[in-house]
Amino acid sequence: MPKSPSSRGFTLLELLVVVAIIAMASAGVGFALRDTSQVALARDAERLAALLESARARSRVSGVPVRWRATPAGFRFEGLVPSTQADSDLPEHWLDPDTRVADSADGTPPPSLLLGPEPIIEPQQLVLVSRTQPGKSVRLATDGVRPFAVLADAP
């Protein structure tokens, strides 16, 4: 008995295409809903790592020690020799106002970092946290030889 054209169902290929489209759409939504506070914290950490390396290089060139310190509003570099170009001075604020340096476990103020002028410095690290979500953190560290690197989830 021949089937009528109106009683046809979907083919396996059509169902696979629909499932693939749904999978791609749900993956896109998942990436779009990333935690913005963690992304902002990681962006500030990457920027600070680049700034620390820039200050470290300037310290080695000038022969003057440079120290990085956290401030209530951001951070500052002490000891940098003023550059001849006004736009090449290093910034002193976070990109996201929610970012801050974590206090030490023993309650002392946040650490300061000595960036030079020697090519090999002591191992150093600091932890950045979110003001509104204290559970979010990233750690910047160097072993003294390699550049500062951003490490996920502070210990």
Residue 16 falls within a domain, yes or no? no
Please report, for the domain that includes residue 107, its CATH number. Answer: 3.55.40.10
| pLDDT tens sequence across 4-33 | 556 578 888 988 999 999 999 988 887 776
Q: What is the dihedral angle through the alpha carbons of 107, 109, 115, 121, rounded to the nearest 10 degrees?
A: -20
**pLDDT band at 87; cut points 50, 70, 90:** very low
Structurally, the chain folds into a number of domains equal to 1
Q: Report the sign of the C-alpha dihedral through residues 135, 152, 65, 90, in that order.
A: negative
Domain residues for the domain of 142 are 36-152
Nearest to residue 128, comparing CAs of 114, 138, 116? Answer: 138
> For the segment 93-102, what is each residue's pLDDT rounded down to a tens digit?
999 988 999 8
| Model pTM score | 0.72
Bridge partner residues of 69 (DSSP): 76
